[in-house]
Structure 1
Amino acid sequence: MDDTPRTLTATELQAYFAFTEVGSLLRHAVEQQLRDVGGLKYVQFQLLARLGDAPAGQQRMTDLADGVVYSRSGLTYQAQVLEQRGLVTRAPSPDDERSTVVTITDDGRAVLAAVFPGHVEALQQLLFASLSDADVDDLARILGRAAEHLRANPPRSATPRRRG
């Protein structure tokens, strides 16, 4: 058995550095737009966007934490901040009193409606403008495959809780 540590090829290293640079630059611009227009942190936007797309505008806290890959306690704090702003409500789940259900409010939908045009514009200008439709298809396929692989052995914050 070969115990020699594996190294990255020059192309793998180039891809990794490009991926992290794009992610950092894009996230910085997106976070700035979300703060300026909606007074939101990125994770708060993710929470509202997931609720906005969810049936009846609600999800269990654990499902939200699993989806946004954020610690459950950290997401609880962010939901509390959004609740204080009147953007979400939290209540015990009617199906399981140990679970909390978060629901987006009309004010939460209004904040999403305010931030989405600038959010989409930032993504189009900063990420997609330099790519062809085929490039975007390839990017979606490649990153989808990587996400699927990472979700096969996720960090605890992304591991769905076992239901008793």
Structure 2
Amino acid sequence: MQHHTSFSFSWTLKQGLAVKKLNVIANSMGSRGLVDALEGLKINEFYEEFVFNQIILAAPDIDAQIFVEQIAPQLLNCSNRLTLYASSRDTLLASKVKRLSSVPRAGDSHESKFTPVSCLGVDTIDVSDLPTSSYCFSLGYSYYAELRDLINDIYNLIRFGHEPKDRNLIANTKGPSLFWKFRR
């Protein structure tokens, strides 16, 4: 049922509104829903000719290995750019890792476990170093909607489509993977 609903909604957007650019932001478990919906669209051959402009995943609650091996390639095939924001301060993701067999999540960047998820074609941005205020009652859960630098980055990404090197980011090559951090 979820696939049918997603397909109907997207098809209506595509046909009725002559959408030229469609940007999608998914947070935490919503990332799973997005992946399921896009799989439904793929089954219905929706994005044979339609490509999403930006797909943005904020703190995706998805198994990191499955993301790299299966999900990222699928999302890259249906979008102009795929951006993943991760944080080591997301205590909800961290507690989930502790409770559920220590399987790293794509949105978790706790350095004691691993560096942020990185794979070819995905712009991974670690926001752990950004200054916080309330940070959603100190859970770190909704940082994508609370941190001014991050909100500005998402705006510039959607509005102008700039690559990470052309935004307020610096490459961090610590460890085996490339990811980005905000300039301080």
Same fold (TM > 0.5): no
Question: Which one has the largest radius of gyration?
Answer: 1
TM-score by length of 1: 0.27
TM-score by length of 2: 0.25
More strand by share: 2
Which of the pair has the greater relative contact order for Cα pairs under 8 Å at 6+ separation?
1
